[in-house]
Structure 1
Amino acid sequence: MNKQKFSLKKRIHSFRYAIEGLVAFFKEEHNARIHLVASCIVLSTGFFLKISQMEWIAILFAISIVFITELINTSIERVADYISPEFHPKIKLIKDLAAGAVLVAALFAILVGSLVFIPHFW
């Protein structure tokens, strides 16, 4: 158990590391930029169509899930590449499973977006 005394300064400083991670994520990961562009389009469409508060919650939840899974997927891939830079079938499976989680999240986001936006276009 960690018995260090709570330090607000250290907690605030830890945000810097998280922000550095997000900057690296968007700078180095092509899929992150694709998700960012898609998110901007979805958010702009939501503003244009004046979607309801509940629809905003669904959209923001879906976008968040995609980014969270992509961040976790990227982390898993980086660790796997560090542990085993050469091809290994078990590492491939681990990376495929993590990528599958992103795919499920993206399909969920498409479904949510369809349920929210299609009725506005009818």
Structure 2
Amino acid sequence: MPKKTNKNSSFSESINYALEGIVVAIKTERNVRIHIYIGMLVIILCLIFGVTSSELKELISVISLVLFAELMNTAIEATVDISTSRYHPLAKKAKDVAAGAVLIVSLNAGVIGYIIFSKKI
């Protein structure tokens, strides 16, 4: 009997697994929810202040980048957590570096948002 692999049998199955991952992150990770709320607020502000299409593209890009970084951080933290239940300096390093990446991307998004919206107010 052939060994079962975790390979996805179809493209639609791959999409379903990806969507499951996003839903799990939204349900279980407070920071993912916070970043989604902030992203939604930024989109609403875009509608209120009438940003240009290029500004909108830039803001959507940085919102997506922040969410990507947060999802990767969540995945890294989960991977570290299943690899050890005890404190290890390398586990702390991996988690801290991943969180630092989210911080850098979030600060970048904040600066871009400030540059765009400060001209509108």
Q: Which runs of 4+ in 1 moved over 4 A?
A: none
User: Cα distance, 1:84 vs. partner?
Assistant: 1.0
Match of 1:3 in 2: none
User: Cα distance, 1:12 vs. partner?
Assistant: 1.2
Gaps of 5+ in 1: 1-8
Alignment-mate amino acid for residue 92 of structure 2: K
Distance 1:57 1:85 in 2: 42
Q: TM-score, normalised by structure 2?
A: 0.91
CA RMSD of aligned residues (A): 0.9
Deviations 1:51-96 (A, max 9, x none): 0011001100110110000011100000001001211111101110
Match of 1:70 in 2: 70
> Does 2:30 correspond to 1:39?
no
Alignment-mate amino acid for residue 107 of structure 1: L
- Quote the sequence identity (%): 35
Q: TM-score, normalised by structure 1?
A: 0.90
The alignment partner of 1:120 has SS state of coil
Alignment-mate amino acid for residue 68 of structure 2: I
Alignment-mate amino acid for residue 114 of structure 1: Y
Distance 1:37 1:75 in 2: 20
Greater helix share, 1 or 2?
A: 1
User: Cα distance, 1:40 vs. partner?
Assistant: 1.1
User: Cα distance, 1:111 vs. partner?
Assistant: 0.5
Distance 2:94 2:24 in 1: 22
Gaps of 5+ in 2: 1-8
